[in-house]
Amino acid sequence: NAGVTQTPKFQVLKTGQSMTLQCAQDMNHNSMYWYRQDPGMGLRLIYYSASEGTTDKGEVPNGYNVSRLNKREFSLRLESAAPSQTSVYFCASSGGGQKETQYFGPGTRLLVL
Amino acid sequence: GNSVTQMEGPVTLSEEAFLTINCTYTATGYPSLFWYVQYPGEGLQLLLKATKADDKGSNKGFEATYRKETTSFHLEKGSVQVSDSAVYFCALRNTNAGKSTFGDGTTLTVKP
C-alpha cells in the first residue's frame, strides 16, 4: 500500500517549457487535490477533483491544467512554465466525507529558470 | 467564507517544555478540524482530528479540543522532544468531497 505517489521528485525547467506532474493513489479515494507550497504562504489549492470525471479550480489555477485520468490518477500540467511557478507541489487524496483525512504525497520540487 | 488563523511562528522551545500552538477558525455549519504535521522534506501527514464540538483529538502526546464557543482548536503537548521539530498546520473541512482550508503553518524548533 503505497498511499499517494508523485513523479518526478525534482525538476528543473526553462521558462516556456511544459511539463506534467503525475499523481496516483491506491486508497480508492474519490477526491484528489493539487497544492503548491511557497515559503511564508502555507498551502494554496490549485485544482481539485471531487470525483472521477470532475475537476474544479482552487485559489491559484492560472497557468495550470489538470486531468483526472481515472479514479487513481490526477495529473497537473504546466503548459508554459514561468519563474513564478517555482514551488513545491503536493498532491493529496481523501474519501468523500467531511470527516475524512487528506493523505499527501511526498511532493515535487520544481525550479523554473 | 472559511478561514483558519494560526499562531505566527517560528516557535523555539527547549526539550521537555510545554507547547501550545493557537488555532482559531471561521466557518459556516459544523466543520471537522484537523492538525497536520510536515517534517523536513516530506508531505503533510495527519497528526490528530476532531469531528464535533467538545471532541478531543490526541496522538503521540499531542492534544487538541474542538471548542465551538471560542471557534478554536489549539494544539498542546506537555513535553516536547527534538523529534517534534516540524511545521504544524491547522485545517478545517465542512463540505463533503470538497476543499479543506489550511492555516499558514507554524514552524516549531525544539533544542536539546
CB A100 within 8 Å of CB A94: yes
C-alpha pair distances (Å), A100 with each of A1, B11, B51: 18, 29, 9
The amino acid present at B5, given as its one-letter code, is T
The amino acid present at A90, given as its one-letter code, is F
Mutate to test the interface with B, among A41, A47, A99 (most CBs of B within 10 A): A99
Q: What is the pLDDT along chain B (112 residues), one digit of tens a residue?
A: 889 999 888 999 999 999 999 999 999 888 999 999 999 989 999 999 999 999 999 999 999 999 999 999 999 999 999 999 999 999 999 875 568 899 999 999 999 9
Give the pLDDT confidence score for residue B96 in this predicted structure: 58
C-alpha pair distances (Å), A28 with each of A32, A51, A60: 11, 11, 27
- The share of chain A scoring above pLDDT 70, in percent, equals 99
Q: How near does any CA of chain A get to the CA of B3, in Å? A: 13
CB B109 within 8 Å of CB B40: no
Q: What confidence category does residue A108 fall into, taking pLDDT thresholds of 50, 70 and 90?
A: very high
Mutate to test the interface with A, among B94, B96, B107 (most CBs of A within 10 A): B96
- The share of chain A scoring above pLDDT 90, in percent, equals 83
Give the pLDDT confidence score for residue B8 in this predicted structure: 83
Give the pLDDT confidence score for residue B97 in this predicted structure: 53
CB B79 within 8 Å of CB B62: no
Q: Does B34 contact A at CB distance below 8 Å? A: yes
Number of residues assigned to chain A: 113
The amino acid present at A64, given as its one-letter code, is Y
Q: Does B57 contact A at CB distance below 8 Å? A: no
Give the pLDDT confidence score for residue A57 in this predicted structure: 94
Give the pLDDT confidence score for residue B94 in this predicted structure: 80
pLDDT in tens, A50-102: 888 899 999 899 999 999 989 999 999 999 999 999 999 999 999 877 788 99
Residue of B nearest to A91 (CA): B43
Is the model more confident about A16 or about B41?
A16
